[in-house]
Every structure is written in C-alpha cells, then in structure tokens.
Chain A
Amino acid sequence: MKFKKILPQFLTLLFIVLIFGFFTMNAQENMDTRGIEFGFGFLTKEASFDIQFSLIDYDGSMSYARAYLVGLLNTLLVSFIGIILSTLLGAVIGVARLSPNYLIDKTASFYVEFFRNVPLLLQIFFWYFAALRALPMPEDAPLIFGSSFMTIKGLYTPAPIWNNFDIFMISLVVAMFVIYFFNKFAKKKQEEEGIQYPKFIISLGIFIILPLLTFIIGGVDLSWSFPELKQLAKTSFTYEGGMGIPPELIALTLALTLYTATFIAENVRAGIQGIGKGQKEAAASIGLTPNQVLKLVILPQALRIIIPPTTNQYLNLTKNSSLAAAIAYPDLVLVFAGTAMMQTGRAIEIVGITMATYLTISLAISVFMNWYNKRIAIQEK
C-alpha cells in the first residue's frame, strides 16, 4: 500500500534526476574534451572594456563582477523608469477610454490598438533610429528649459553638485517616516473621533519643508554645472559638463513605456468597468461628493481587479528591457551576457548568472506586488 504510493513519485524523481544528470554529464564531458573549465574565478579578473553609461564608478580596469553590477543597475534603472511612466500613462489612457468625449475615447482606443499590435523590437528600432535621424547635431541643438539640449548624442541637462548630500537624503527618509506616522494618526482620529485632516496637503508640506530646512540649518548646498558646447573637430561637436543622458536610454524607455502602457490602460479600464454602477449610485445617495466616490468607493475596489494583471505587465517590462542589446544601451544582457561572455568565453556560467538575476528581479517584483495586493484586498473581519 505504502509502496504503491511512493513508487510513482520515486519514478518521477528518478526521471528528473536522470535527465538532469545526463545533461550535466554531457556538458561536463564536452567541456572536458574541449579543454574548458567550469568556474566563477573569472568574475574577479580585470574586465578591460569600457561601458558607455554607468550609474556607479566604473572603468575597464575594474573586475567583471563590477561590470555585472553596472549592467544590473542599468537594467534596474530602465525598468524602474519604465514601470513608473507606463503606470502613469496607462492610468490616464485607461480613464480616457471611458471618457464620454468621442474624440478622447477614440484617440485613446487608436493608441492602444496601434502600440500593442506592433512588435516591441520594431518599436525600439523605430524610436532609436527615427529619433537619431530627427534629432539635431549638437551644434544646432536648440536650448530647452533654458539650460538643456536635446541632441543626437543625447540629452544634456544641468548636473546637480551637492554638498552634504547624505544629510539631505536622511531628511527625506525622516520625512517619509513622519508622513507615515501622521497618516496612521489621522486615520485613527477619523475612525475614533470622526475628525478629518487634509492628509494630502499636510503630507506634501512635510515632504517639502523638512528637506528645505536642511538647506538652511543642515549645511546642505546645491549648485549646478551646465553643459557647454565643445568642438571636437571642424564639424563635430559635443557637450561638456552637466549630465548626459544617452539617446539609447531615452529610446528604450520611450518604447517600453508606450508599449506596456497599452496593456496597463486596458487593465485600468477593465478594473473601473468591473465595478457595478449601483456602487456609484449608492455612494452618491449617501451624500459623498464625486471625488469621495472615486477615492473611497470606486478606486479601492477597482485596484483589486487592476493589480494582478498589472504585476504581469511590470514583469514583462523588466524582461523586455533585455532588448536593449539591439540599440547599444548597456544593460545586463549587452554588458554581461554580451561583451563579458565573449571576452571570457564562460557561456554556461554567465548565462546561468544572468538567468538567476532576471529570476530574482521578477520574483522580487512579484513578492512586492502580491504584498500590495493582499494589503488592499477585502479584509474579512
């Protein structure tokens, strides 16, 4: 009886182990006959190649591990910006699709249908090469916002030069804590005594005033370095000083945002349409203002429908960011699974590390979004 129970499970396990063992053995044997060694020692070796764009200090004399970190941060950067922007744009478009205004509704529909039905790689190429052709050379670039230049070589903006930046950052963290506790306090007051505070205005006030104070008494100081045109040769120019944002990052962010926002817009529309009309009417009938109806009745329920599929879109966006390799944005795939893999020849190790990294990022996003989803779910009392 017991044996019958164990047998199928054991056979499955045996099957998996055998398959895995077979491939491991084969790989080991193939690598042996070709004189390839397996190991992660290469990570500490000098990378000896440079990277276009890095959030941390990097040059070719540093290790492959450092190059990995540069690629990882670049991937996280583009994913983070992409997620924020596509959420904002998706929310706006999703609401616009429900607009009673014919023009707004149809424009939003057209946008959604167009952008989600064109392959993403094509869109990336389009934004990159179309933008490259359309943007002016550095010497002809017009001034935007009085201090920035949008050129074929990138967007050049003033760069902040901080004094005592750490104090400023600490003040931001403190402000967040204060806001968190204030909101907790305000909620308690409302539940127990019915007193309502203008929570948003006060929170915003704290967020602005606390960091501002550090400028006056904390010794924090901010000045700007402005980009200046520099001549490299008779007809070739660039900008020096300031902050240079490569066109590759801009094109990639644009493509990822426009593509993912279409899916998020549909999620938002589905979420709002999923709330029965009666809910809105009932809320209005007990005297809530339209703003309160939206904030207290519609949105909390709609979010429960919106969050799970939107989590998927966040994961997709992060994974899609690996298409960066096509347009020279130095993300994890281009830097690590590209150049580093070529220079070291460690295909198995590097692909393994890269896969594990994407898996970790995706799982982290999932965990966070699941936590958030649970938090806003109906609390059964």
Chain B
Amino acid sequence: MNYLLTNKYKQKGRIMFKYLKQLTSLVAMVAVLFTFTTETMAAKKSKTLKNTQKKGFVRCGVSQGLPGFSNADAAGNWTGVDVDVCRAVAAAVLGDANKVKFTPLSAKERFTALTSGEIDILSRNTTWTLSRDADIGLTFVGVNFYDGQGFMVRKDSGITSTSQFKDGISACTNIGTTTELNMRDFFNSKGISYTPVAFEKADEVVAAYDAGRCDTYTTDKSGLAAQRTKMTNPDDHMVLPETISKEPLGPVVRQGDSVWEDIVRWSLNTMIEAEEYGVTSANADMMKTSENPQIKRLVGAEGEMGAAFGLDNEWNLRIIKQVGNYGESYKRNIADTGILPDRGPNELWTKGGILYVPPSR
C-alpha cells in the first residue's frame, strides 16, 4: 500500500517535471521575443517621448507643497521653479506648457514613482548625489537650484549660530532625504549628541517643530525659507547663517532613455541660456531677427537644433515664450513671493553666481 502510494507520487512528479521543462523553454522563448521587440523600438525613437506625445501630456513628479518650488494653489494650479522645468518640457515636446500632469510625491515615494514609470520627470527639489545617480537607475540632468542644508531656530532661544548647539538638542526633519545623513555628519563632527525626530511628510515636521517638539528644524535652506511662511508666527523663527552641505537640486529622469534625458536637460539649459542672452518671454519673437547667431539659435531662427531630439525647430522658442527664462521664473516664484529675494549662488556666472550651462549650438 505504502509502496504503491510513493510510486504514484513519483510518477506524478516525473510528469510534472516534464511539463515544467517545457514550460521553462516556453518562458525563455517569450522572454527573447519580448526584449527583441522593445529594443528595436527604443533604438528608433525615445520610448518616453513617443508615449508622451501619444498621451498628450508630460507626467511630472513634484513635491507635496513647497512654496517657490512646487506648490498648488486653491484652484489646483501648480507654480514654482521645479514646476517650470516640466512646463518647459511640455512646451518643447507638445507645444503647450500647460499640458502637464503633476503628481505630488513624498520624499520616500519619489524615486520609486520615477523608476516604475509612473512619472517621466522628477522635478522635486532633489539633491544630485553620486549614489543616487549611479546606484538606483536614475539620471540627473542638471541643476536648477543650488542649495545647502541649514537650521531654523526660534528667535527667542538666543541661538544665532550652530556653534551654540549643545548636547541633548532635538532636531526635526524629513525621512528619506540627504538631510538625515548630513545632520548626522554635522553633529558627529562637532561631537554633539542629538535626538533626530524624522517625519514622513513636511507638513508634520513643520507642525511638530512649531508646537515645540524640537529645538531646531533642519532641511535645505530654500525649504526652510519656504516652510517658515507656514508657521503660526513666521517672525518668531530664523534660519541660522551656517550651511552644512552642498545640495544641488535638479530634475531627474529614468536611466536608459538618452533622448528623453537630453530633451529635459536642454529644456532647462535653454531657460538659463535665454536669461544669459537677455531673451525673455516678452521679446523672444523679436529676437528672431537678432544679429547674434547664438541668440538666433536660441529662438529657432538658425540651425536645426531640435532635429537631434526628434522635435521641430521652434521647441526652444516655445519654452521661452510660454514659460520664460530662468530669471523670470525665479523672480515670479521665489523672489516676488518673498521666499529668497537674494539669488545668491543661483545668479548667472556673468553676474557673480554659479549658473553656467553649455552653449546651445
């Protein structure tokens, strides 16, 4: 009885194994077919560009609300310098800067949303670092804001410099950002013991710090300046002068689609270069007759600057006309809103800043 049973199972197992072998070869065949078709498609044209043109809008990941960078008003209209990068790409690729679908993302979700294909551009005050660029399937295309991490404290605490920090200080911050790592490096190098209180969303960080849970709030200085406006009494708080890290913030795309990567990179570069040559949304059309060939290339009046991306010749003119140059975007979103009136390092290299982009030619 027992013997018979085992034999039956053995037989069953053998049949299964045979089927399994056939199955594996089938799966392998399908796999080969699959990679083959996708590769030929990608070689012809950018898959992301094709999908974007088919859908009719650019899928852009932004923050959950950071005034000056990406922030939605009551009517759901997004504004900010990060938002403008996506609008520029939409103007270049689709001809209309408003054809953008914004997806608000937390710091934790952002990279997964991009690598999984939920969005095609991540323009969410994201710091460009080696490990992010090389390790997790992302490509940073440029820098649209040079930032650094700082600290905010209550004015009445009497603290005016990070050198006055003492053992036992508690610091509120966001999880999943370079902030957590910089904070540790900073306090360790000063030999100060501290309590990190890390929240998932920025709004909760602000609420907890505002209530008095922490002695200091640390994130990028632009973020501090923007979040300060959300406090109960913004004037009770101040940002300390020290900057403890380099935070070059910029748009990110998925690795593996170099044409799309170039489109996003040069959309940003066009905005910065337009400011350098004095081309604005108001005078862009008139600049077509300019004497300067560099300016003429910027407004699509000379050369075939869009052909390499599979775009028409006026892609850059549309960016400047519909979104404006970098200076206009900065003034509209960051300076005029009182967040950071002083451009600091985010000024053109010709005016003492470090904004310097390769030429469009």
Contacts and interface: CB of A to CB of B under 8 A. Distances in A.
Given A34-B256, A342-B175, A238 B170 contact: yes
A220 B268 CA distance: 69
26 contacts: A17-B23, A21-B27, A30-B117, A31-B137, A33-B255, A34-B137, A34-B255, A48-B181, A50-B184, A50-B194, A51-B196, A52-B196, A129-B211, A132-B208, A132-B212, A132-B213, A152-B212, A232-B168, A232-B215, A326-B201, A328-B204, A338-B108, A339-B176, A339-B198, A343-B176, A345-B115
Given A21-B27, A35-B255, A132-B208, A342 B137 contact: no
A269 interface: no
Closest 9 CB pairs of A and B: A345-B136, A342-B176, A34-B137, A234-B158, A233-B157, A132-B211, A36-B137, A33-B256, A49-B180
Select the residue from B107, B211, B256 with max chain A CB neighbours within 10 A.
Answer: B211
A137 interface: yes
Contacts of A49: 180-181, 184, 196
Interface residues of A, number: 51
B112 interface: yes
A59 B138 CA distance: 29
A327 interface: yes
Listed residue (B112, B175, B207, B215) with the most chain A CB atoms within 10 angstroms of its CB: B175
B137 A326 contact: no
Interface in A32-90: 33-36, 48-52, 60
Given A328-B172, A345-B115, 4 more contacts: A34-B255, A235-B158, A238-B168, A339-B176
Residue picked from A60, A232, A247, most chain B C-beta under 10 Å: A232
Interface in B79-109: 107-108
Name which of A236, A247, A344 has the most chain B CB atoms within 10 A of its CB: A236
A221 interface: no
A337 B287 CA distance: 52
Contacts of B132: 345
A341 B176 contact: yes
Contacts of B208: 129, 132, 328
Given A235-B156, A240-B168, A339 B256 contact: no
A334 B195 CA distance: 16
Interface string A311-329: 0000000000000011110
Contacts of B168: 230, 232, 238, 240
Contacts of B108: 338, 341-342
Contact of A35 (B12, B117, B137): B137
B176 A52 contact: no
Given A29-B35, A34-B256, A334-B175, A339 B111 contact: no
A339 B158 contact: no
B47 to A, nearest CB: 10
B198 A36 contact: no
Contacts of B30: 25
A153 B172 CA distance: 12
A153 B213 contact: yes
Nearest to B216: A236
Interface in B142-166: 153-154, 156-159, 164-166
Given A21-B27, A339-B180, A36 B136 contact: yes
Nearest to B164: A233
A359 B12 CA distance: 32
Secondary structure of the B contact surface, majority rule: mixed
Interface string A211-241: 0000000000000000000101111101010
A247 B31 CA distance: 53
A14 B188 CA distance: 56
B212 A232 contact: no
A21 B166 CA distance: 56
A233 B213 contact: no
Given A327-B199, A347-B112, A152 B211 contact: yes
B44 to A, nearest CB: 16
A327 B204 CA distance: 7
A278 to B, nearest CB: 51
Given A29-B35, A238-B170, A328 B198 contact: yes
Interface residues of B, number: 62
A110 interface: no
Contacts of B23: 14, 17-18
A133 interface: yes
A129 B213 CA distance: 10
Interface in B16-44: 19, 23, 27, 30-31, 34-35, 38
Given A36-B136, A233-B157, A235-B158, A48 B184 contact: yes
B177 interface: yes
A330 interface: yes
Contacts of B170: 153, 238
Given A49-B184, A235-B154, A345 B137 contact: yes
A273 B156 CA distance: 60
A185 interface: no
A10 interface: yes
Nearest to A348: B112
B169 interface: yes
A343 B136 CA distance: 10
B254 interface: yes
Interface string A113-157: 000000000000000010011000100000000000000110000
Contact of A233 (B112, B166, B199): B166
A29 B34 contact: yes
Contacts of B111: 342, 345, 347
A203 B135 CA distance: 59
Given A35-B137, A236-B157, A330 B198 contact: yes
A338 B177 CA distance: 10
Contacts of B112: 347
B231 interface: no
Nearest to A130: B211
A52 B204 contact: no
B335 interface: no
B200 interface: yes
A325 B335 CA distance: 34
Interface in B243-273: 254-256
Nearest to B26: A18
A236 B154 contact: yes
Contacts of B181: 48-49, 343
B238 interface: no
